[in-house]
Amino acid sequence: MASSNRRSNLKVAEGAIVCDEAVLKGDITIGRLTVIHPRANIIAEAGPIIIGDGNIIEEMCTIINRGSGDLTTTPVQIIGNYNIFEVDSTCEASKVGDNNILECKSFVGKEVELSNGCVVGVGCSMTEHEVVPENTIVYSDQHLRREMRDKPNPQMGQLDYLVKILPNYHHIVKPNMKST
């Protein structure tokens, strides 16, 4: 079980499913219906991380707020709603909008800001300073881009399934924050 000292700044909304085996360090706020798998890593090193509603954060995924090195500000990393962080993806972005997908082994650096409806493909690495336009797909080993015609739909079926099944096989962190 988690030590109370390690997770003293963890705020979990009602309806969120946070597996106790996840590594959660620092000031973290987790929105309702968000699912955090075992062995996911969320590390608020340089400042708080605020995760919205309905996100899926899978095994071995890392979300980390490393900051910019500017000691005068405390950067807040904001993750929007209904994003999917697939197995072994890494996100250091200061802002992630809504309905984005970071596929397996993808990397989004701290200089990148994802808008809404973006997909970062398998193994793609984004490290240059940029704001990725809405509905952009980054794919292939050359990091090619194209625009989707339609926005990706939230994975409500997958969310419903995980909310029902994960508590049967894992210890779950109890919510300590009322939903608004």
Spatial neighbors of 94 by CB under 8 A, at least 6 apart, are 65, 75, 76, 77, 78, 110, 113
pLDDT tops 80 at residue 6: no
Per-residue pLDDT tens digits for 87-140:
999 999 999 999 999 999 999 999 999 999 999 999 999 999 999 999 999 998
Compute the distance between CA of residue 105 and CA of residue 107 in angstroms, rounded to an integer: 7
For 7-44, b where at least 16 C-beta lie within 10 A, e where not — what string?
beebbbbeebbbbebbebbbbbbbbbbbbbbbebbbbb
Residue with tokens 């109370």: 4
Is pTM beyond 0.85? Reply is yes
**Spatial separation of the C-alpha atoms in residues 142 and 148, rounded to whole Å:** 18
What pLDDT, on a 0 to 100 scale, did the predictor assign at position 3? 42
pLDDT digits (tens, 9 = 90+) for 59-75: 999 999 986 666 667 79
Predicted pLDDT of residue 151: 77
